[in-house]
Structure 1
Amino acid sequence: MATSEGRLSLEIREIVEASENEEAFRVQGEVWGFSEADRVPHRLFTVNRLIGGLALGAFHETRMIGFCLAFPGVKELGRPYLHSHMAGVLPEYQNQGVGRRLKLAQRREALSRGFELIEWTFDPLEIRNAYFNIERLGAVIRRYKANAYGITTSRLHGSIPTDRLVAEWRLAGSRVNSILDAGVGVKKQVVREIAVPAEAGRLRTTDPARAVAMQTAVREEFEEAFQQGLTVVGYRLTETGGAYELSR
């Protein structure tokens, strides 16, 4: 599917060729700085496609500049869904709308295959990702995973635990449709906010001890809120960083 939305002309298509699998393997290293041992092996892209998963590449002038990879899964009562394990864009092409176009293409293709839910994880200390996932895509959050992947070799993750929030993207839900169509969704009454300082993400690599202290405080707040049955329904940018908005 070709798209010229925004400033960059792209072709977004399913990754099917062995050479494209190898390109995605390379992109993982450039985006996250993973060692080869921490990357998804290129042959697993082929296996994933054979079992009903979905991998899409974003190509600019024949070069893969980003991709997203989702594995098929099954929820309670046998309901199928996709777990979007990776979505990344090369650093020189970031902040140009490529990531959003990849996620929207992922949504369209998932709906065409009968999926109604995509989930993924993201770092609660990453303000840009939080705003994008919640306010631009319409995901909601009800779960927190402490040190979900263990310590990794990624330069972006630093040397601290990989705590993650679990985003739920109800592909045909009214909230998602409203946000994608009108840019704003109807929010329930906010009963609690969880603030994250702007420097939290940067401190992972510059001051890991402070980053862990912030991470621990944020983790405790989320775990308490989710035990109370609250759901993240919004994200508000502030002068000092950002704040997750939760409702019942």
Structure 2
Amino acid sequence: MDVTVRELDGMAEWTGAAALYREVFGYTEPEWGLSPRLLAALGENAGTVIGAFTGDGTLTGFCYGFTGVEAGELYHYSQAAVVKAGFQGAGLGRLLKYAQAAAARRTGARTMRWTFDPYALRNAHFNFAVLGATGIRFLPDFYREPGTDRVLVSWELTDAAPEGSRGRTGHGGESILVAAGERCAAPDPQDRAWLRQQLLTRFATGGRLVGVARPEGDPGRVAYLFEDEA
């Protein structure tokens, strides 16, 4: 696929990115919208506003983020990345993430963070097996609504380039095994409640999530693979 990934510029492109964001997530309520003016401000203030265009100029992917600080550590926070229906699964998400990493390095950040739904297996595979990120914190009901549990991941930017990908399948010292469907872990409510408590406990005791994978010969379950914090 002929794709160009670059920073977005101008109200037309920022507005197009905001529209794509709503389209991909299916948002219709005004409060779920994304302001093009916010994207303009981010682009001028150490944020990232990056798009992926096909050869005919169609915007097919978009990501944005901003600079954050915790305990004196500068990092880049990737708020969202979306890919247009019909183009998903073609590697555009990976290209967007690497472009965002390159932009983040220019701000002085050494790591990039974002959150993801820990029960969504495709997202887990992308974060750990493709990018090599590490889950550093469990955030129950992150958006202050039931069903919005998230894991915060951190991605080292030193080698974050397509040719230097260091994806991980997870070689943790401990694992949490749970039933899983095709797309999500613990679809049964009782299993989900159990898994949620296990994740809370493991992160609270210093664990770092390094992979989510199906055990060989056991397609009906997944293992959450942990390492202890160094």
SS at match of 1:121: strand
Q: CA-to-partner distance for each residue in 1:197-238, whole Å, 9 max, x for gaps?
A: 1256499xxxxxx66544432221111101211111122134
Please report the TM-score for the alignment, with normalisation by the length of structure 1: 0.81
C-alpha distance in structure 1 between counterparts of 2:191 and 2:183, whole Å:
7
Residue of structure 2 in register with 1:93 after alignment: 87
C-alpha distance in structure 2 between counterparts of 1:211 and 1:31, whole Å:
27
How far is the alpha carbon of 1:166 from its aligned partner? 0.5
C-alpha distance in structure 2 between counterparts of 1:181 and 1:194, whole Å:
31
The structure whose residues are more often helix, as a share, is: 1
Q: CA-to-partner distance for each residue in 1:76-107, whole Å, 9 max, x for gaps?
A: 12x22111000110121001111011111111
Residue of structure 2 in register with 1:231 after alignment: 208
How far is the alpha carbon of 1:34 from its aligned partner? 1.4
Say if 2:177 is the partner of 1:191: no
2:68 partner amino acid: G
**Cα separation, partners in 2 of 1:91 and 1:109, compared to 1, 3 Å:** same
**Counterpart pick for 2:154 among 139, 145, 168:** 168
CA contact under 8 A between 1:196 and 1:218: conserved in structure 2? no
Residue of structure 2 in register with 1:155 after alignment: none
C-alpha distance in structure 1 between counterparts of 2:169 and 2:123, whole Å:
21
Say if 2:134 is the partner of 1:140: yes
Between stretches 118-127 and 44-53, larger displacement belongs to 44-53
Residue of structure 1 in register with 2:11 after alignment: 18
1:39 partner amino acid: G
Ranges in structure 2 where 5+ consecutive residues have no aligned partner: none
C-alpha distance in structure 2 between counterparts of 1:186 and 1:134, whole Å:
7
C-alpha distance in structure 1 between counterparts of 2:34 and 2:189, whole Å:
27
Say if 2:16 is the partner of 1:31: no
SS at match of 1:91: coil
C-alpha distance in structure 2 between counterparts of 1:58 and 1:80, whole Å:
26
Say if 2:61 is the partner of 1:75: no
How far is the alpha carbon of 1:75 from its aligned partner? 1.6
Residue of structure 2 in register with 1:117 after alignment: 111
Q: C-alpha root-mean-square deviation of aligned residues, in Å?
A: 2.5
**Cα separation, partners in 2 of 1:54 and 1:182, compared to 1, 3 Å:** closer
C-alpha distance in structure 1 between counterparts of 2:88 and 2:128, whole Å:
19
Between stretches 57-66 and 236-245, larger displacement belongs to 236-245
CA contact under 8 A between 1:136 and 1:180: conserved in structure 2? no
C-alpha distance in structure 2 between counterparts of 1:214 and 1:187, whole Å:
22
Please report the TM-score for the alignment, with normalisation by the length of structure 2: 0.86
2:58 partner amino acid: R
Identity %: 27
Say if 2:34 is the partner of 1:40: yes
1:27 partner amino acid: L
Task: Give the ranges of 4+ consecutive aligned residues of structure 1 lying more than 4 Å apart after TM superposition.
Answer: 182-189, 210-214
